[in-house]
Amino acid sequence: MRENALTFQLCASAVFFFLTMAVPGVGLLTRLNLCAQRRTRVQRPIVRLLSCPGTVAKDLRRDEQPSGSVETGFEDKIPKRRFSEMQNERREQAQRTVLIHCPEKISENKFLKYLSQFGPINNHFFYESLGLYAVVEFCQKESIGSLQNGTHTPRTAMEAAIPFRSRFFNLKLKNQTSERSRIRSSNQLPRSNKQLFELLCYTESIDDQLNTLLKEFQLTEENTKLRYLTCSLIEDIAAAYFPDCIIRPFGSSVNTFGKLGCDLDMFLDLDETRNLGAHKTSGNFLMEFQVKTVPSERIATQKILSVLGECLDHLGPGCVGVQKILNARCPLVRFSHQASGFQCDLTTNNRIALTSSELLYIYGALDSRVRALVFSIRCWARAHSLTSSIPGAWITNFSLTMMVIFFLQRRSPPILPTLDSLKTLADAEDKCIIEGNNCTFVRDLNRIKPSRNTETLELLLKEFFEYFGNFAFDKNSINIRQGSEQNKPDSSPLYIQNPFETSLNISKNVSQSQLQKFVDLARQSAWILQQEDRDRPSISSNRPWGLASLLLPSVNRKSFTKKKSNKFAIETVKNLLESLKGNGTENFTKTSGKRTISTQA
C-alpha cells in the first residue's frame, strides 16, 4: 500500500535538546468559547491501535476522571486505592511509556501504525510545549527495546552528539510531502485568569464556584502521566549509577492538591540499593559491599546529588538550567525538563516529605470538600501575593493546606480526623518510623469512617476566613496531629507543627508582616462574603461575585464603602471583559493610581 511508503525516522533526542536551550516549555492554551460553562476537558485520541486486552477498559475508565475527582455522592461506594498502589501502578505504566518530539503536522493514524510495529500500544496523547510531543504507552515494556533498536543517534556536521539511549525520541519525516493533518493536543496549563473569572461569574452558587475552580486547575490525567513519565526518564539516568534506585514523585504532583503548572518534586529512593540482598545470606558469613564512607548522611546526600546534577546537566536529554542547591536544609538539584515544561526539584534522603504527601493524599480523598476548599484558598492566597514561587517570608502552599486541614478538623462534627486518630486506626503493616519519627497512620482509606458533617462549601469558605481572621496566632500553634490549638513553643509569628517531626515548625520562615497581611485579607474576605449574603448580584449582571470577588485585588478594600467597593468591582470586571476583546495575553494588568492590579492566581 502507498501508505506503507511513509516512513519515519527516530533520532535519539540528545542533540536536538542540547542545541535548543530555550526557556522551559510553555504549553499552548487552546482558545475556547469563553461563555461555555464547561470545556471539553481532554482531547480524546482519535484512534487506539492494537490495544492490550484487559488493560484498555481499565485505562479508559480512569481516563474519564482526572487525577482526583470532584464528583460527590459516590465517594463512599468506590473502594479507594492506597497511595502506594496508585504510585506503583503509575510507575509501572510510565516504564512502558516513551516521549516523542514530533513534526508539527503528522497523520495520527500513520504515526500510530508506524509505532505499533514495535509492539501494541495501550494509549497515547499529544501535547504542545515549544513543539508537538507524543506520550505513547506500550502494552509491554519489551516494545521499548525494539523501538530503541530501530533508532539511531543523529550526526550533524557542526556538532558532536553524546550518544545516550533514552526513552525520549525525536521523530522526523523522511517524506516531507506526506499527509499533514493537524493533531489535537491536550492542555498542560490551566485557563487564563480572564477565562476563569468569566466562568466563575456565570456559575450559580459559591459551592459551584469552588468546584469549578478545582475542575479547571487540578492536574489532568495526561498531566499526571507526564509527571510520572518525567520521573521515570530521570530514573533511567540515575540508574546508570544506582541500578535499583526509584525516582518517586512527591508533593503536589501526587498529593491531589497540585495545580496545573506546579513544580515536580522528585525523591531519589535508594532503599532498594541499600537493602538488596540483606536477607539472602546464609551460614556463618556476612558479605558487605566495599563502599566509600563520609562523615554524615548529609554529606552522603550532597555527594550523590552533586554527581547526579552533573549527569543530568551533561547527559540528560531535555534537562536544562541544572542548579545544585546542596547547602539548603534539604539539599536538592533543580532543573527544567524542557519537553514537559516542568520545573523539577530532585532530592534524596527526604522520605518524610513522601510520607507527608501520602498523608495529604488521604486527607484529600476522605471528603470531596477538602480539595475544593484547599484549591480556592491557595488561589486566593496567590491572587493576593500571600504566596510566591520565590522562597522568602511568605506562607507556602504546604502551610496553607495544613491550615485548611486543621480548620476542617475543628468543625463540629469534624470533617477530617486528627492524625492521632489515623494513628489509632493503623495496623501492624502501617507501622512506620523514619529517622526516629513516628510516621504511623492508617494507609487503607476504606477503614476511615466518612464524616457526618454536611456543611456547604460556601459556609466553610466564609468560616475559614472568620476562623483565621480571629485566630490567636500570638499564643497558639496549629497542630493537625491533635487537631486542637496548642500553646506556641517559641515566638515565631506563625507556628504550624510539622506533623511528623513534631519539634519543627513548617512555617518558621513567615514574618510578622506577612502573617498580618494574611489576617487582614482573611477578615476582608469574610466581610465581603457577609455583604454578599445580603445583596447577591444576579448571574446576568456579569459582576464578579462570591469566590470571583475574593480573587480580585484588594486595593484599599478597607476604606471602601460597600457602594464604592461594588463600583470598583464593576469597573474591574468591565476592564477584564474589554481586555478579553483585546490582545488576548495571558495576564492582564491595569494601573490604578500607583498600584499595579494583577489577577495572577
263 binds ligand GTP (CB under 6 A): yes
357 binds ligand GTP (CB under 6 A): yes
Q: How far is the CB of 497 from Mg ion (least distance, A)?
A: 20
**At a CB cut-off of 8 Å and minimum separation 6, what does 100 contact?**
10, 133, 134, 135, 136, 168, 169, 170, 171
Binding to ligand GTP (CB under 6 A) within 72-131 occurs at none
Q: How far is the CB of 383 from ligand GTP (least distance, A)?
A: 15
Q: Tell me which residue of 294, 499, 319, 487 sits closest to 417, measured CA to CA.
A: 499
Q: How far is the CB of 362 from ligand GTP (least distance, A)?
A: 13
Whether residue 544 has a cis bond before it, omega within 30° of 0: no
356 contact choice in ligand GTP, Mg ion, none (CB below 5 to 8 Å, kind-dependent): ligand GTP
What track of x and - describes contact with ligand GTP for positions 290 through 309 (by CB under 6 A)? --------------------
- Name the grid cell of 88: 506503583
Q: How far is the CB of 323 from Mg ion (least distance, A)?
A: 16
- Name the grid cell of 224: 499526571
Nearer residue to ligand GTP within complex by CB, 391 or 413: 391
Looking only at the bridges linking them, the beta strands covering 433-434 and 319-325 are unpaired
Stretch that binds ligand GTP, among 184-192, 232-240, 247-255, 433-441 (CB under 6 A): 247-255
Q: How far is the CB of 419 from Mg ion (least distance, A)?
A: 21
Nearer residue to ligand GTP within complex by CB, 350 or 565: 350
The SS3 of residue 328 is coil
Encode 2-14 in three state secondary structure: HHHHCCEEEEECH
Q: How far is the CB of 36 from Mg ion (least distance, A)?
A: 31
397 binds ligand GTP (CB under 6 A): yes
What track of x and - describes contact with Mg ion for positions 259 through 288 (by CB under 5 A)? ----x-x-----------------------
75 contact choice in Mg ion, ligand GTP, none (CB below 5 to 8 Å, kind-dependent): none
Binding to ligand GTP (CB under 6 A) within 478-517 occurs at 498, 506
- For 95-183, where are the E strands, in sequence order? 97-102, 121-128, 132-138, 168-173
- Name the grid cell of 246: 526509584
Q: How far is the CB of 515 from ligand GTP (least distance, A)?
A: 16
398 binds ligand GTP (CB under 6 A): yes
DSSP letter at 443 equals -
What track of x and - describes contact with ligand GTP for positions 205 through 244 (by CB under 6 A)? ----------------------------------------
499 binds Mg ion (CB under 5 A): no
- Name the grid cell of 349: 534522603
Q: How far is CA 29 from CA 36, 129, 215, 382, in A?
A: 16, 10, 16, 21
Q: How far is CA 270 from CA 101, 324, 424, in A?
A: 31, 19, 30
Nearer residue to Mg ion within complex by CB, 338 or 356: 356
252 binds Mg ion (CB under 5 A): yes
Stretch that binds ligand GTP, among 76-84, 246-254, 418-426, 566-574 (CB under 6 A): 246-254
Number of residues that bind Mg ion (CB under 5 A): 4
Ranges of H-type helices in 218-279: 221-238, 271-275
Stretch that binds ligand GTP, among 255-263, 291-299, 437-445, 521-529 (CB under 6 A): 255-263
Ranges of H-type helices in 410-474: 419-424, 457-469
At residue 592, φ and ψ (nearest 5 deg) are -120, 105
Distance of alpha carbon 146 from alpha carbon 142, whole angstroms: 7
Near ligand GTP by CB under 6 A: residue from 193, 252, 302, 348: 252
404 binds ligand GTP (CB under 6 A): no
Nearer residue to ligand GTP within complex by CB, 218 or 255: 255
Stretch that binds ligand GTP, among 349-357, 418-426, 535-543, 593-601 (CB under 6 A): 349-357
251 binds Mg ion (CB under 5 A): yes
At residue 433, φ and ψ (nearest 5 deg) are -120, 125
Q: How far is the CB of 481 from Mg ion (least distance, A)?
A: 22
Number of alpha carbons in the 13 Å side-chain half-sphere of residue 222: 25
Distance of alpha carbon 69 from alpha carbon 42, whole angstroms: 14
Q: How many helices (H) and strands (E) does the chain have?
A: 18, 16
The 10 Å Cβ neighbour count of residue 538 is: 8
262 binds ligand GTP (CB under 6 A): yes
Interface residues toward ligand GTP, by CB under 6 A: 250-252, 255, 258, 262-263, 265, 353, 356-357, 396-398, 498, 506
Interface residues toward Mg ion, by CB under 5 A: 251-252, 263, 265
